[in-house]
Structure 1
Amino acid sequence: MNRKEKYHLWKNRMEDFEASGDTIHEWVAKQEEITEYQFHYWRKKFKSETNSQSNNQINSGWTSLDVPTFTTNTAIELRLDDLSVYIPEDVSEEHLCRVLRVLRNG
């Protein structure tokens, strides 16, 4: 019997035990060629497997959140009468000086 077959055999045995309502000692006594040591070994194996799966589900339970994007706008808008000049935040100082010179001399 390979590992997979043995695993399923013992999985079925554990299900039978749970459904029986017997104590471990009573259930094992009714079985052929099963010791309490084997029973406890497999029961512990399945219990730790279940705990491991539960922990993985808890740890991998990521939640997706929609986080709004906040943009900081340090742009400048100059208004003079009917003239409006928008100066983006990444404008070079040199370029801004040229624009202001033109406005002064205009």
Structure 2
Amino acid sequence: MKRKEKHDLWKKRMEAYEDSGETIQEWVSKQDDITEYQFHYWRKKIKAEVNSDSSDEVSQIWTSFDVPTFPTTSIEVRIDDLSVYIPENVSEEHLSRVLRVLRNG
């Protein structure tokens, strides 16, 4: 039997075991050509493959986000541990509102 065929056979056996609702000992005892040692070996091997596949999927997930950029010419206002960067071209009205909020906050 080829490696792939054997692997597929054991995957089917694992599914049959899961569907049976029996303990490993009960299920294996009803099989003619399977030992508990073989069962545990293949169960561990197949679980490792599943875990490896899912970790590969996780490592391939990409996330994007916007990184704010500040104008090269700006004013930095610091109040305690708060820093506000104000672009050079901000309107006087807008700057007045920001300062008013900071004073009253």
Interval containing the TM-score (normalised by the shorter chain) = 0.5 to 0.7
Q: Per-residue deviation at 1:71? A: 4.3
CA RMSD of aligned residues (A): 1.7
Q: Percent identity?
A: 64
Equivalent in the alignment of 2:66: 66
Structure 2 gaps of 5+ residues are: 75-105
**Structure 1 residues not aligned, in runs of 5+:** 75-106
1:50-103 deviations in whole A, cap 9, x for unaligned? 1212222222222122334544259xxxxxxxxxxxxxxxxxxxxxxxxxxxxx
CA distance in 2, matches of 1:2, 1:28: 23
CA deviations on 1:16-43 (whole Å, 9 max, x unpaired) are 0000001000000111111111100000
Cα distance in structure 2, aligned partners of 1:71 and 1:32: 76
Taking the aligned partners of 2:70 and 2:13, their CA distance within structure 1 comes to: 59
Q: CA deviation at 1:4?
A: 0.7
Local SS of the residue matching 1:65: coil
TM-score by length of 1: 0.61
In the alignment, which residue of structure 1 is the partner of 2:7? 7
Cα distance in 1 for partners of 2:2, 2:66 equals 49
AA aligned opposite 1:49: E
